[in-house]
Structure 1
Amino acid sequence: MDKYPFLREAGSSFKDRDVTKMSDLIATWDGQDIKGPALIGVPLSKSSISHSGASFAPGTIRQALKHSSAYSAELGEHVVSELLYDLGDIDIHVTDIVKSHHHIFQTMHALLSDHPDWVPLILGGDNSISYSTIKAIAQTKGTTAVIQFDAHHDVRNTEDGGPTNGTPFRRLLDEEIIEGQHLIQLGIREFSNSQAYEAYAKKHSVNIHTMERSSLYHPLLSDLPFQKKCYKSEKNQPRGISG
């Protein structure tokens, strides 16, 4: 293509030789062994109780990375210095939510089993995917703790709507995939939950922090049972972030 020096890939953004964009450090996975962080998309939104465009989020996030510098002025360094793989998106069934959840679990379980050093950066997708992804992590890594940034407890019953985005932590707790003491909910909002679901969460010893309390960011951190960086292990306990 040297013959056409001004022809660029469609959608290409302005290129400055002195700027490293986040997208410059992301490469399509070539099937090699995965060590450290790597992206994977889960474009599911059919299980959302309200109308949702969450299925567009993985693509939108990737597009945004083309416009974001990898350099942090506050840290004085690039937040990403090594090449990250992008594994692509997990295939979602057009109409079947349960089958979609199975696709997600099966894919995540296989990848985590084959690549034990992989730290998954999962781009959802509505919050129903938390059930399948956390289940796969727990089965391959052992005891798992979750920090959930959310206005809702997401412990709805499945009888009234099936496995929606309001049910993942109910299912994870009922099936004893995670323990309530290892679930930390930050940002629970006023007039957005029910007394029954709050009681369920408390019965299972979930760590609940309301929006008001979560705004007290630094004092709150001292109360959390896990005080190391996310995705670092303490007594072999993997951690994930859900929101």
Structure 2
Amino acid sequence: MKEKQISIIGVPIDYGQSRRGVDMGPSAIRYAGVKERLEKLSYTVTDLGNVSIPNRHKKQEQMTSKLKNLSQVIEINESVAKKVDHEIEKGSFPLIFGGDHSLSIGTIAGIAKHYQRLGVIWYDAHGDLNTDQTSPSGNIHGMPLAATLGFGHHKLTNLYGYAPKVKTEHVVIIGARDLDPGEKDFIRKHNIKVFTMHEIDRLGMPQVIEETIAYLKERTDGVHLSLDLDGLDPTEAPGVGTPVIGGLTYRESHLAMEMLAEAELITSAEFVEVNPILDEKNKTATLAVGLIGSLFGETLK
């Protein structure tokens, strides 16, 4: 990473999905020693604490759409966008911990205004390309990538006052293995570059990351990594709300982070969907910290 200043921002949001506990994800990652790990790599790390989360008992406004907790998700993501925007203005690398994946709407909104052609690596078992029209559940954590690309409810797509934040040709999804019908249609229609588990098994992670780096380097002027811990297999990362068997291993993910570090490609990052209630002795948060270390240049030599 070119920036030696890192700003940690916690987003303890659980309004985007239906299982409680993911709001404790930022605390679990901190408890696993992330700040100390990064400081050992000679980074200056400032932990800015958590963004404010509205009271869960706050009355939900009546919406004509079926989106759950829309007003709360919007309020939180506006705060996230402002904080991330401010840290980039200061020249710091924003490192965000979640919390459910709906927080990406805010993080990318705060980041993309600083780039002409922001790229996104979506490291996830899911595409998160649903909209209010295609979502089977109405949970907004299944919609952030679509919203970032300018598709879905106007309050999500226009968050922070502009849309779209990212172009479809500047996205790479890695690790997908659970896509809804509407998401499959979206991927085909917009020709999204996706490496499903099928491709990863056939090609191997080194080739997948090499192709990802080559694809994004020629198209973008910055790349945001959005890593959902459910991208990894639940035997290794059990503390997630929507586990899907047959996922990426820690070794594959560790290698992917090392290769991204070597390429100096990543300009911002988030690690999301850590749910300590569903975890085993903070295993998933500890794994996340290991991946963060690799992303920021930690090696065995």
TM-score, with length taken from structure 2: 0.57
- Per mean C-alpha deviation after superposition, the further-off stretch among 157-166 and 124-133 is 157-166
Structure 2 Cα separation of the partners of residues 212 and 237 of structure 1:
29
Aligned partner of 2:82 in structure 1 is: 106
Name structure 2 gaps, 5 residues minimum. Answer: 57-71, 151-162, 229-301
Aligned partner of 1:178 in structure 2 is: 166
Aligned partner of 1:43 in structure 2 is: 12
- SS of the equivalent of 1:241 reads strand
Deviations 1:58-109 (A, max 9, x none): 111111107x9749xxxxxx86123311111111122422211222122222
- Are the aligned partners of 1:179 and 1:204 in contact in 2 as well (CA < 8 Å)? no
Letter matched to residue 190 of structure 2: H
RMSD over equivalenced CA pairs, Å = 2.8
Greater helix share, structure number? 2
Q: How far does residue 235 in structure 1 lie from its aligned partner after superposition?
A: 7.7
Aligned partner of 1:239 in structure 2 is: 223
- Are the aligned partners of 2:7 and 2:87 in contact in 1 as well (CA < 8 Å)? no
Equivalences for residues 45-194 of structure 1 within 5 A:
45-48=14-17, 50-65=18-33, 70=37, 80-95=41-56, 96-113=72-89, 115=90, 117-159=91-133, 164-174=140-150, 175-189=163-177, 192-194=178-180
- SS of the equivalent of 2:53 reads coil
Letter matched to residue 44 of structure 1: I
Aligned partner of 2:296 in structure 1 is: none
| Equivalences, count | 194
TM-score, with length taken from structure 1: 0.70
**Greater relative contact order structure (CA < 8 Å, 6+ sep):** 2
- Per mean C-alpha deviation after superposition, the further-off stretch among 214-223 and 167-176 is 214-223
Name structure 1 gaps, 5 residues minimum. Answer: 1-33, 72-77
Structure 1 Cα separation of the partners of residues 50 and 120 of structure 2:
23
Aligned partner of 2:292 in structure 1 is: none
- Are the aligned partners of 2:170 and 2:219 in contact in 1 as well (CA < 8 Å)? no
* Identity %, equivalent residues: 24
Larger Cα-atom Rg: 1
